[in-house]
Chain A
Amino acid sequence: MKYSYITPRDKSALTQEVQLLLSFFTITILMLFLTYTFLLYKNYSFKHEKQEILIKKEKLKKSFLVMEEEIVYIEKQKLLSENIYTKNIVLKDSISNLFDLIPSRITLTQAKLLKNGLILYGITPNKDIYNFMLQAPLRSIFHKTYSSFYPAQKGWYRFVSTNYINEEKEEKIDE
Chain B
Amino acid sequence: MLSKLFESLYNKVIVSIVLNRKSCSVYIEICSKSTVVDSQTKTFETATINQEIIEFVSSYTKESPYSYYSVLDTSVDQGAIPACKKSELSYYKNLDSYEYKCFDEKWVCYTLKNDLYEMKQQYKDFGVDFIFSPISIIYNFFEDKVKSHFALYVLVQDNFVSLSVFENSALMFAQHLDMKTSSDEELSASVIEVNSDLEESIGIDLDDVDVIEEMEDMEDLDDFGDIEDLDSLEEIDEFSESQDIEEEFFEIDEPIVESDDDSVNEDYQRFTLIQKSLGDYYNDKHYSSNFIETIYIADGVGVSSDLKKYLEEEMFLNVYIRRLDIPMEICSLAKGELGL
Measuring CB to CB, which residues of chain A are less than 8 angstroms from any residue of chain B? Answer: 1-6, 8-9, 11-15, 18
Contact = CB atoms under 8 A, between A and B. Distances in A.
Interface of B: 3, 6-7, 9-10, 65-68, 70, 73, 99, 101, 103-104, 109, 111, 116, 127-133, 136-137, 139-140, 333-334, 336-338
A4 B130 contact: yes
A15 to B, nearest CB: 5
B9 to A, nearest CB: 7
B94 to A, nearest CB: 18
A6 to B, nearest CB: 5
Contact of A9 (B10, B101, B129): B129
A11 B9 CA distance: 13
Given A4-B337, A11-B7, 11 more contacts: A3-B132, A3-B337, A4-B101, A4-B131, A5-B73, A8-B129, A8-B337, A9-B127, A11-B66, A11-B67, A12-B65
B337 A13 contact: no
Q: Report whether over half of chain B's contact residues are helix, strand or loop; otherwise say mixed.
A: mixed
Contacts of A11: 7, 65-68
Contacts of B109: 5
A4 B65 contact: no
A13 B9 contact: yes
Given A11-B65, A11-B66, A5 B103 contact: no
Contact of B111 (A1, A5, A8, A15): A5
A5 B99 contact: yes
8 contacts: A2-B337, A3-B136, A3-B333, A4-B101, A5-B101, A5-B116, A9-B127, A13-B9
Contacts of A13: 3, 6-7, 9-10, 65-66
A22 B99 CA distance: 40
Contacts of B9: 13
Given A6-B128, A8-B129, A1 B65 contact: no
Given A13-B6, A13-B7, A13-B9, A6 B65 contact: no
A8 B130 contact: yes
Contacts of B140: 3
Contacts of A12: 3, 6, 65
A3 B65 contact: no
